[in-house]
Each structure stands twice: as C-alpha cells, then as structure tokens.
C-alpha cells in the first residue's frame, strides 16, 4: 500500500461539551487585523530593516558574478581591492541588519503574544457570572493554558517570520529579474510542482497536527492521572489497567505521528525537487542563454547564486505557514470568548431596601426542562432561611437565583423591589454574595487574597477582618504576615484556613445578604464545627439564605424551606416543622436520635 490513511481515532475530537463558543472565521480575521493595526509601526520598521538586510546579502553574488565576468573575459586589471572593500561593507551592513531583523521580529512577536494573552484574560474576567456558573471554569482553563501554549510559537514567530520570508523571496526574485530578466522566468518552472505538492499537504496537515498534538497530550494526561490517583489505583488494583491505558494512548498518538510523517514524505520531496528545479533551470537554461549570447557568464553566476539563496525564504514561508494553520484553531478558541456578550445590566436599577422576594419563579437549564416550578418566597431583612431537601431538588438553583446569578424564566426575583438579574454584576455583589464550596486561595500574598474584596482596605482593616473570623492567630504566625505567599507553591493553607480566608473576604466586602451553598460541607466535621463559629461572626446582622446539607444548620435557622422536586413542600420554623410530623420531622429524628 502506498500512503498512510489518517487514523480512525481522533484524539482532538471533543469529548466533553464545549461550553464556551469558538470564534467564527470572521471574528478571528477581525481580531488578527486589529492586532496588526495596533502594531503597524513596528511592523513597517521590521519590513524596512529586513529589506535592507536582504539587499546587502545580494551584494556577494553580484560581486562574484562581476569577478567571474572579468576573469572569463581575461581582463588583466580586476579591481580586486575595490571588490573586497565593497564586499566587506556589504557584509557589515548585512550583519548589522540581520541582528536587527531577528531582534525586531522577536520584539514584535512577543508584544503581539503578550497582547493576545492579556486580551484573553481581560475578556475572561468580564464574563457574566451566570455564564461562568453554567460553563464551569474547565473550558476557560484549558484555553488559557493549552491554547496559549500552542499559539506561543505561532504568534511570536510565525507572523514576523512569514512576512520576512515573503519580502525576502520577493526581493530575491526581483534581483534575479534585474540581473537577467530571462532567469527570473526560469524560476517559474518550479512553481507548478511547488504549488501542487503544497496544496495537497496543506489540505491535510492542520487537522493532522492538531490530532497529533492532542494525542501526545493524552499520553501525558493519562500518566498524570495515574500519579494523581495513586492511592485509588493501588487500592482498586488498577495498575495493570493504567499501564494498558498508557500504551493505548501511545499507540493512538504514534498512529498520528505516522500519518503526519507520511504527509511530510510528500512535502519534503516537493520542496527538494522545487529547489533543484530552481537551481537547475536557472543554471542550465541560463547556460543555454549564455551560449546564445542573451546573457553573460557573470549574470549567470550571480543568477545561480541568487537562485540558491531562494531555498531559505521558501523554507521559512512553508514552515511558518504550517505553524500558522495549526495555530488557527487555538486562536479561534481564544477569540471565541469575545463572542459572549458581556453582561450589560441596567445601571439605573438600584434596590430600595433589603427585602428579598421570589415571586412564582420558574427556571430550567435546558429548554422544556424546568428545575423550579413556581417557587414563591419572602425573605425579610435579617432573616435566616435554610433550604433543605434531597440532591437535585433545586436547592442550589434557587440559591443562585436569589444571588442574582441566573434570571428566572418566568416570575421574578427582586431585592428591595429591583429585579436582581437585570442589575450589573458589580451592583449585585455589593448587596448579595454567594458563598459556595469553592474556597479558592489565589497564588500570591495573603494581602492580595483579601484585598480583592475591598481594594482600598488598609492593613488594620485586613487584620480586623482576619480577627473577626478567628484567623488572626495562624496569620500572625506566618513568617511575612500579610505578605506571606499562599496558594499553590507558597504556604499551604489547610482547607479550614482557606475557608477562613473566604469568610474574611466577606467581612471586607460587607454585603447585607449572603447565600451560603453548604459552604462547609467539604470540610471535616470537626473543622466545620470550629468554622461555624467563625461563620456565625460573619452572619451577625445579615440576611442569610443557607442551603443546608446538614440538619444542624437548618435547626438554627429562623425559617426552613424543604424543597422537593422544584417546589417548596414544607415551610416554617424548626419546631413547627417537627410538630407537623412530615418529611423534615422524620429526618430530624433519625439525625438526632
């Protein structure tokens, strides 16, 4: 069999739903245009510098051609000194400008790459909370790590190098035309071969390289997972299966390597033959032209040397065009975030009072599948409301609606008479905060981790906030106090301390209403007990909606709402519900003995 068919299994095919949009070709093009426009001055400088360098590099072949011409005519007085002097000057210019081109190219490329990654993060932090909550951060995370990595080379090198290559090749062809017009035509002989081969290759290459890269990443991912799950792998005796999985990943990856190698088995001869055709046709056709006295020996020599110099820019163009093709997908994924409408919100809308009310709220994540079926609820200021009920009943969804993250499909959720979901996120969070199980501690100083809640807070306020949640003890014991590095790589805070940091942020942000989505459930029960005291400090004087997995949380609440199947089935105080002898009462008895 000649040739290799692309492998059936494509590791680049999405396995989980892409939750955020991927940029359309039009968006990508518009973005690239904008990027180039932003840097048009350095771009122009690069092109000029490049042109000077290339021109200087052509002096050598030209001088040699002249010398050969003189020699072949048997001239006695060859101005050797002048030739050498000219050659040296040209070399000095070329050296200087080659360095400049390389440097300027890198500077331009790095600036563009920096713009790209910063633009992406700027866009990401403006995403509406509802989009984030629904999409999760996994997709974004893979975009900012994997896709930026893949783009790095393309951005920093491909765009400048490709332009350099094009200018370079054009100048060489131009010089060839100036030296001896017929020779420039001889080069064209190679063009059909080059174009046919490249067309075949570029039709297949981008997809194949994407799959190959994904396949290689999958090899590493399988191993990383085995490491991460070491205990589980050992406990369940999965060692042999993990080895088998790794080997399957190696097979899938190498199958794509084999395919791309086959693609290059076509591309390489294409390029080589084109190169040889260029030199051959210039040399042989040119030789015939000399014999016909259409051009001179000197012109032929110069032409042949210039033709050889074409190899390099042609290689440059092919290589970076390839890279750019592969990078396009990553670029589309990065730029795709721009297609999400940042949430506008009505800035005029402001709550009047702290009364929270849900009125006949219906809501679902998917069309035709409501999670909440007409929930109405009234939470007067300062109330502690507990939502209890089985998993999947809609407790967390209701919590998110009350925190203004989602807007109801029908009905409305209002704070002080103003509809929460129509307010901008920045306005909502001044009043209501959602606290969930995610107690992210950012890489950086403890100060930065607290400042995010109130950027103008002074050290005294930060310490006061830490004190309020009972975290000042361990925080003061840190080597550098507020400047201590925490998060991964820095001081490892315990889950309980992470939670205290999250609570201290709330103290600083000071919203009057809190929605707690079982904030302590992932912690050890003992640690949770201790934290509940910190939490009690924070809750003091605020309206609290607590989604409770543990009944003791419910017991302490003013009002308990039992949610079943997206409806409120029981509503009242702990004592009232126990007295009712319904589902809550049964559970309570089993819990408390």
Partner 1 sequence: MLIRDLPYADPGVPDVRSGPRLLLWLGRRQLRGQAKSLAWGTLHMASVASIPVAVGLAVQAVVDRSGERLALAATLLALIGVGATVGDTMLHRTAVSNWITAAARVQQLLARRTSALGATLTQRVAAGEVVAVSTGDIEKIGWCVESVSRFSAGVLVALCVCAGLIAYEPELGLLVAAGLLLLIAVVLPMLPRATRRADLQREKAGRATELAADTVAGLRVLRGIGGEELFLERYRGASQEVRRAAVRTARMWALIEAVQVALPGLLLIAVVWHGTGLAMDGRISVGELTTVYGAVTFLLFPLRLVQEFAMAYSFSRPSAARAARVLGLRRAVEGRGDRGAALVDPVAGDLHDPVAGLLAPAGRLTAVVCGDPDEAGRLAARLGGHDAGVEDGESSGDGDGGGGNGGGGGDGAAVVRGSGAGTGRAGRGGTDAPDTARPAPPSVLLGGVPLDDVTLARARAAVLVQDKDPVLLSGTLRELLDVPASGRVPAHEALAAAQCGDVLDALRQGTPGLDGDPLEARVTERGRSLSGGQRQRLALARSLVTDPPVLVLDEPTSAVDSHTEARIADALRRVRAGRTTVVLTSSPLLLDHADHVVLVRDGRVAASGSHRELLGADPRYRAVVTRETDDELAEGTTHA
Q: Which residues within the stretch 197-236 sit at the binding site for partner 1 (CB under 8 A)?
A: 219-236
- Of 363-402, binders to partner 1 (CB under 8 A) are 365-366, 388-392
- Of 81-100, binders to partner 1 (CB under 8 A) are 83-84, 87-88, 91-92, 94-96, 98-100
Is residue 166 a contact point for partner 1 (CB under 8 A)?
no
Neighbours of 129 (CB within 10 A): 17
Q: Which residue has the tokens 């989602």?
A: 406
Neighbours of 196 (CB within 10 A): 11
Minimum CB distance to partner 1 smaller for 276 or for 360: 276
| Cα distance from N-terminal residue to C-terminal residue, the chain | 76
Q: How far is the CB of 216 from partner 1 (least distance, A)?
A: 9
Write out the E strands in 18-162: none
Give Cβ neighbours of residue 496 (< 8 Å, ≥ 6 apart).
Answer: 523, 527, 530, 531
- Of 458-487, binders to partner 1 (CB under 8 A) are 487
Minimum CB distance to partner 1 smaller for 36 or for 152: 152
Is residue 107 a contact point for partner 1 (CB under 8 A)?
yes
Mode of pairing for the β-strands spanning 432-435 and 513-517: parallel
Is residue 297 a contact point for partner 1 (CB under 8 A)?
yes
Question: If you write DSSP's letter for every residue of 330-371 in order, what string do you get?
Answer: HHHHHHHGGGSPPP---TT---SSS-EEEEEEEE-SBTTB-S
Which of residues 9, 33, 38, 72 is near partner 1 by CB under 8 A? 72
Q: Which stretch binds partner 1 (CB under 8 A): 30-38, 201-209, 287-295, 470-478?
A: 287-295
Is residue 329 a contact point for partner 1 (CB under 8 A)?
no
- Of 231-270, binders to partner 1 (CB under 8 A) are 231-240, 242-243, 246-247, 250-251, 253-255, 257-258, 261, 264-265, 268-269
Q: How far is the CB of 376 from partner 1 (least distance, A)?
A: 22
Angle at 550 (CA atoms; ends 549, 556), nearest 5 degrees? 120
- Of 341-360, binders to partner 1 (CB under 8 A) are none
SS3 128: coil
Report the distance separating Cα 151 and Cα 352, nearest Å: 49
Q: How far is the CB of 539 from partner 1 (least distance, A)?
A: 16
Q: How far is the CB of 525 from partner 1 (least distance, A)?
A: 5
Mode of pairing for the β-strands spanning 559-564 and 384-388: parallel
Question: If you write DSSP's letter for every residue of 527-570 in order, what string do you get?
Answer: HHHHHHHHHHHHHTTSEEEEE-SSHHHHHTSSEEEEEETTEEEE
Is residue 78 a contact point for partner 1 (CB under 8 A)?
yes
Minimum CB distance to partner 1 smaller for 114 or for 195: 114
Applying CB under 8 A, what is the total number of residues that bind partner 1? 164
Report whether 55 contacts 296 (CB < 8 A).
no
Q: How far is the CB of 205 from partner 1 (least distance, A)?
A: 15
Give Cβ neighbours of residue 3 (< 8 Å, ≥ 6 apart).
Answer: 262
Minimum CB distance to partner 1 smaller for 410 or for 492: 492
Paired strand residues for 359: 412
- Of 123-162, binders to partner 1 (CB under 8 A) are 124-127, 129, 132-133, 136-138, 140-141, 144-145, 148-149, 152, 156
Q: How far is the CB of 417 from partner 1 (least distance, A)?
A: 23
Give Cβ neighbours of residue 285 (< 8 Å, ≥ 6 apart).
Answer: 182, 183, 186, 189
Q: How far is the CB of 58 from partner 1 (least distance, A)?
A: 13
Minimum CB distance to partner 1 smaller for 3 or for 489: 489
Q: How far is the CB of 224 from partner 1 (least distance, A)?
A: 5
């Amino acid at each position: 069999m000649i040739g290799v068919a692309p492998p059936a299994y494509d590791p680049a095919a999405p396995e989980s739903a892409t939750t955020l949009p991927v940029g359309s070709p039009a968006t990508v093009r518009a973005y690239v245009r904008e990027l180039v426009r932003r840097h048009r001055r350095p771009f122009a400088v690069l092109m000029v510098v490049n042109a000077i360098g290339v021109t200087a590099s052509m002096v050598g072949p030209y001088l040699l051609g002249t010398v050969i011409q003189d020699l072949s005519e048997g001239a006695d007085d060859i101005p050797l000194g002048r030739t050498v002097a000219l050659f040296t000057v040209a070399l000095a210019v070329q050296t200087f400008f080659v360095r400049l081109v390389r440097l300027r190219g890198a500077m331009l490329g790095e600036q563009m790459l920096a713009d790209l990654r910063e633009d992406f993060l700027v866009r990401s932090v403006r995403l509406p909370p509802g989009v984030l909550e629904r999409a999760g951060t996994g997709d974004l995370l893979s975009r900012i790590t994997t896709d930026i990595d893949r783009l790095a080379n393309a951005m920093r090198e491909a765009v400048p190098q490709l332009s350099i290559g094009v200018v370079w090749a054009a100048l060489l062809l131009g010089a060839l035309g100036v030296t001896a017009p017929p020779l420039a035509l001889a080069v064209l002989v190679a063009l059909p071969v080059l174009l046919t081969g490249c067309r075949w290759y570029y039709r297949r290459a981008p997809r194949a390289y994407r799959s190959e890269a994904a396949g290689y990443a999958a090899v590493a991912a399988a191993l990383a997972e085995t490491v991460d799950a070491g205990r589980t792998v050992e406990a369940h005796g999965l060692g042999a299966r993990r080895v088998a999985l790794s080997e399957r990943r190696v097979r899938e990856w190498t199958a794509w390597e084999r395919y791309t190698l086959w693609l290059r088995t076509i591309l390489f001869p294409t390029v080589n033959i084109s190169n040889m055709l260029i030199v051959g046709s210039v040399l042989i056709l040119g030789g015939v032209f000399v014999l016909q006295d259409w051009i001179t020996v000197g012109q032929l020599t110069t032409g042949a040397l210039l033709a050889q110099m074409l190899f390099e820019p042609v290689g440059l163009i092919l290589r970076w065009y390839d890279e750019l093709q592969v990078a396009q997908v990553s670029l589309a994924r990065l730029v795709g975030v721009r297609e999400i409408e940042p949430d506008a919100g009505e800035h005029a809308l402001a709550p009047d009072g702290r009364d929270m009310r849900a009125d006949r709220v219906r809501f679902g994540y998917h069309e035709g599948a409501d999670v909440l079926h007409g929930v109405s609820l009234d939470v007067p200021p300062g109330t502690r409301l507990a939502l209890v009920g089985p998993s999947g009943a809609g407790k967390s969804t209701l919590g998110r609606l009350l925190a203004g993250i989602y807007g109801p499909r029908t009905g409305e959720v209002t704070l002080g008479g103003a509809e929460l979901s129509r307010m901008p996120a920045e306005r909502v969070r001044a009043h209501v905060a959602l606290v969930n199980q995610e107690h992210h501690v950012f890489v950086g100083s403890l100060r930065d981790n607290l400042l995010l809640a109130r950027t103008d807070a002074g050290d005294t306020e930060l310490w006061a906030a830490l004190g309020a949640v009972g975290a000042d003890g361990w925080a003061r014991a840190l080597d550098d106090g507020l400047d201590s590095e925490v998060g991964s790589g820095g001081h490892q805070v315990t889950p309980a301390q992470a939670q205290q940091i999250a609570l201290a942020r709330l103290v600083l942000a000071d919203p009057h209403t809190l929605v707690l989505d079982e904030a302590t459930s992932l912690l050890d029960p003992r640690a949770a007990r201790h934290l509940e005291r910190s939490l009690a400090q924070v809750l003091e004087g605020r309206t609290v909606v607590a989604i409770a997995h543990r009944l003791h949380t419910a017991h302490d609440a003013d009002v308990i709402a039992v949610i079943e199947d997206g409806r409120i089935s029981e509503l009242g105080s702990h004592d009232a519900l126990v007295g009712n002898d319904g589902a809550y009462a049964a559970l309570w008895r089993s819990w408390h003995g």
